[in-house]
Structure 1
């Protein structure tokens, strides 16, 4: 496989550093604060890089609703695969929403909508995962996040070259502002200087993204 240059801007690079398996302190990163901050691209890029470098690992990519998951996050996932020239190493089951990598890694795309018939999210109970990316996390209830954290069990593996990999559980939440658990657990502690040592909040706005069209910025400033 030939090398491919991936260009990320500074806020995305900061998040990737915290999410690296080499970082044994930070396990949860909240990234965002506004539209066009590079949130979904970051999450899909991180998930793909984890899967190709950690054979047999298991990732979850989630949104609240399955329709938006298919129409937005899955589309971006394949955009990133194309940018990385990695389409050939992934087989995608569009019915079950599963991306199978040639090295045995898997990404499950799942909705986290709270359903009256499943208030405890029992539908997540049979999974063992390595990490998760929750897109538009402000729409997700705290119960879903708590259940997912209990599914981190695939934390060691062996690559085809014989090297072994290990990671602590890692979670990336991307968001727009909302006064719920993301504010209580991340935004407020960041403001107060009381952030838990295993968490980080990276605020990324449209102006932080050098790839955003200036016309979009100009339109925001008129609002």
Structure 2
């Protein structure tokens, strides 16, 4: 607070551990800053209150669900009026704060002509340097009140990440920018249950745990990458060992849009026995292909992704009518551990990461994780497409829960939908629900040899 009140400070980065009370402080400071500004400069009441600040985050939807929700819960309701979309917060009919997300292009375009006295950005690590530059240009020295230029002030909150924030506020800070570390112990509402949940959820990622628990910014660039390539490499090298048993089943990720692909995987535990890729097509083509594959492999069970009223739902219905045992994976559905994961998708990706990291899919039986590298002309094993897609998504920690970045963002990175990776994640997620095989005895996992026909 002292830094923010100091004339020698332009911006403060309040960053560090999760649940350090950063969003709460951001909202309280923004409100009090606007009130103090109106009083200091004797801003009169008006039907068009003076726009003095901006409160926002990268994605508008996340801003509404987190930061703005914190505002409504924290700031007394009789102290302001909130209206419009995006929301404008009006205080005493004298000043107002513009709010929203940087993904709203219409809102961002307003920065070109905006004149702010302050800004407050939550989860600033999500922004690019260019996006931050637009806001700075609209704030420092732009607003003039009573023929006096307002110097401007900025507050940023962030979680540890290798990005421009670390360079500007920690490694090479300029005099006018200050960094203040946030810790869970700074938040009087942080419970031991939250800390225990954080430790349990990220125990397989010690560097990320250090960042989120202790605010350690000395983390690797890949700290928030869900699945590491080194884990896949270890699985590829884990051949020639004996599985205690093999669950054989089929996982299907159905195409949602015209440029997506339907990916069908025949699984032997964690290894890919066969992969079929189909363009966007009718449900009957998918269910027919999957049913035939199941029949060829002892009428094995199937798991299908469906969001309820999509291509997947039709495939589920058709396979069920054909008499097949079908498990439905609903990515947006409720997690089996709602205190840890935002939804079923977050749980599936996180548990796949844990399985690959540990190298074991079932600790009781010591059933290990193994993969076969796909060769040229093969239709089985891990190929470069799936490998790249598996290592692309990142995750975040939002209000004590793991959230996987939106599929649209992953598509932007890859230039295509991560359908191959989704199919594998569905398969690993489904493994505990697949029936145990009737056969007993251990089965050796080894790299398959090419048939003479493929040579």
> Normalization by structure 2: what TM-score?
0.39
CA shift for structure 1 position 64: 0.6
8 Å CA contact retained: 1:114, 1:141: no
Q: Matched residue of 2:175: which SS?
A: coil
Residue 40 of structure 1 is matched in structure 2 by: 23
Within 5 A, what are the aligned runs for 1:76-95? 76-82=70-76, 87-95=77-85
- Say whether 1:28 aligns with 2:11: yes
> Normalization by structure 1: what TM-score?
0.76
**Hey, what's the Cα distance between the residues in 2 that align with 1:17 and 1:103?**
28
CA shift for structure 1 position 110: 2.2
Distance 1:57 1:127, change over 3 A: closer
2:189 to 208, 211, 215: 211
Deviations 1:168-223 (A, max 9, x none): 3111110011111101111223xxxxx31101111112133232111112333443
Within 5 A, what are the aligned runs for 1:140-159? 140-152=127-139, 153-154=142-143, 156=145
Q: Matched residue of 1:147: which SS?
A: helix
Instruction: Tell me which structure has the larger Cα radius of gyration.
Output: 2
8 Å CA contact retained: 1:156, 1:166: yes
8 Å CA contact retained: 2:51, 2:98: no
8 Å CA contact retained: 1:24, 1:167: no
Report which stretch shifted further, 204-213 or 27-36: 204-213
CA shift for structure 1 position 60: 0.3
- Say whether 1:52 aligns with 2:35: yes
**Hey, what's the Cα distance between the residues in 1 that align with 2:67 and 2:79?**
19
**Hey, what's the Cα distance between the residues in 2 that align with 1:48 and 1:78?**
11
Q: Matched residue of 2:66: which SS?
A: helix
1:137 to 124, 129, 132: 124
How many positions carry a matched residue from both structures? 187
Q: Matched residue of 2:119: which SS?
A: strand
Residue 107 of structure 1 is matched in structure 2 by: 97
Distance 1:31 1:139, change over 3 A: same
Distance 1:53 1:114, change over 3 A: closer
**Hey, what's the Cα distance between the residues in 2 that align with 1:19 and 1:103?**
25
Residue 3 of structure 2 is matched in structure 1 by: 18
8 Å CA contact retained: 2:123, 2:156: yes
8 Å CA contact retained: 2:88, 2:97: yes
CA shift for structure 1 position 89: 3.4
Residue 163 of structure 2 is matched in structure 1 by: 180
CA shift for structure 1 position 114: 8.5
1:168 to 140, 147, 151: 151
Q: Matched residue of 2:103: which SS?
A: coil
Residue 202 of structure 1 is matched in structure 2 by: 180
CA shift for structure 1 position 57: 5.9
**Hey, what's the Cα distance between the residues in 1 that align with 2:191 and 2:174?**
36
Q: Matched residue of 1:54: which SS?
A: helix
Distance 1:124 1:149, change over 3 A: same
Residue 65 of structure 1 is matched in structure 2 by: 59
**Hey, what's the Cα distance between the residues in 1 that align with 2:184 and 2:95?**
33
Distance 1:114 1:35, change over 3 A: same
Deviations 1:100-129 (A, max 9, x none): 1115111111211386xx9xx534212111
**Hey, what's the Cα distance between the residues in 2 that align with 1:51 and 1:208?**
24
